[in-house]
A and B are shown apart, each in its own frame.
Chain A
């Protein structure tokens, strides 16, 4: 039995199909990156994994069981922005995850229970490199630091899958690079299973162990919305020796599917889409 089984998944918005027949398996510990043009359904797919959208047909199984039709602790999420709590400082933003779990009524921890939880929180803060900013509020953090906090928040809840929805799309290129290193390290050390939606093909290739390209396989020139997208490329990136081949393949994907051009300098890709 595979870790995640996506079983003949279709998604329609009214009459308009968005996704057609997604049928695949994902192993535990995979780092799947999702790319495609705007409106190709990759974000819709992520929302279905998260539980805020429901498939029209088919289902998603996590460890053999259908995922719940609303967000829960099995699936952690980092959005591009707005996913930390602005009224709590860095420590409290992470502590609140433990408080939600431990105290169903007051959602607060006191005394020794709180001290123990804070120890755990401080370890996590150090893990994501926010040790110097533990008592700051989100508005006092840069965009990159806010995303570090959002990641820490998601990780302390120990989700079975971590979903990243264009998490670095709003960051400066230099900061993005640091974040790539961080995410890659956390993925390796904590044995995470990650799905990441991105616009940046280079990012998708360098971070993932598996890359999915969402695109339409059928086109009706008279009715462009007649058909939905599916996974047109499913590339195994886990073997690093494939990198050379990937270059020509990435060129093909970037030109035919994403209408982006891959530049040698990743900074130019920032606004490519």
Chain B
């Protein structure tokens, strides 16, 4: 049988999927042991035990200075900023994108502006945000919003325009006015696409979050990583990176799950030959 026609069975697929992770883990452990054998105080590739004890300290022992559990405090602060930033972006993206996509008169005026804003590199205006909004929470959330909202707006506009005109014409022959078409025909069909768009922009949202935290913050996952960098604390940095990756994975998985549960019609449109 040709190679392109051979498909792995379910267990084999799972095994093949896990294999690279296991190999990476063993490569790391091997390299770490080699370096530690030469120098027991090596900081670059700490052993698993050191990472576990560092995490144990940060997650389950109150900090001597503030009495907080730093790991959870960092996680909470970061997720709050990320959640706020992404939620605001999603709402703004939905409303602006939907109206832009549906109403040509608005699109003509707003769409070029959105495109121009989306081309500004957000990191370049971070100093402006710090000057305007100060070093507090607002500027970090605003950075995320500026970073991803224009993308979501443009995506939502494109998705709205993708809805077949036949449906819009049909609604008009059923006596619908513009508002009713927005509310009952376009909005419900755009919502699952909004979840797709948010999933795609989460990577960028994390990037802006960690960048903002690295520059000005007193807690947060990005803040901690950049703080302990000064002491070459790889035993903290590596688990934090893994934790961020895990959080990103869980959020993505949750959004996908919600989308499948709430919008089953969106994920099963192959039969009707409609886009999506």
Contact = CB atoms under 8 A, between A and B. Distances in A.
A106 B170 CA distance: 19
B274 A82 contact: yes
Contacts of B174: 73, 96-97, 100-101, 153-154, 157
A239 B268 CA distance: 47
Contacts, number: 101
B173 A154 contact: yes
Interface residues of B, number: 31
B171 interface: yes
Interface string A110-146: 0000000000000000000000000001111100001
Interface in B140-195: 164, 166-167, 169-177, 179-180, 183-185, 188-189
A86 interface: yes
A87 B183 contact: no
Contacts of A79: 166, 169-170
Given A72-B173, A157-B174, A86 B180 contact: no
B41 interface: no
Nearest to A47: B169
Interface residues of A, number: 38
A209 to B, nearest CB: 23
Contact of A87 (B166, B173, B263): B263
B28 interface: no
Given A81-B273, A140-B271, A146-B272, A153 B175 contact: no
Given A52-B169, A107-B180, A139-B270, A86 B175 contact: no
Interface string A14-57: 00000000000000000000000000000000000010100000
Interface of A: 50, 52, 70-73, 75-77, 79, 81-87, 96-97, 99-101, 104-108, 137-141, 146, 150, 153-154, 157, 159
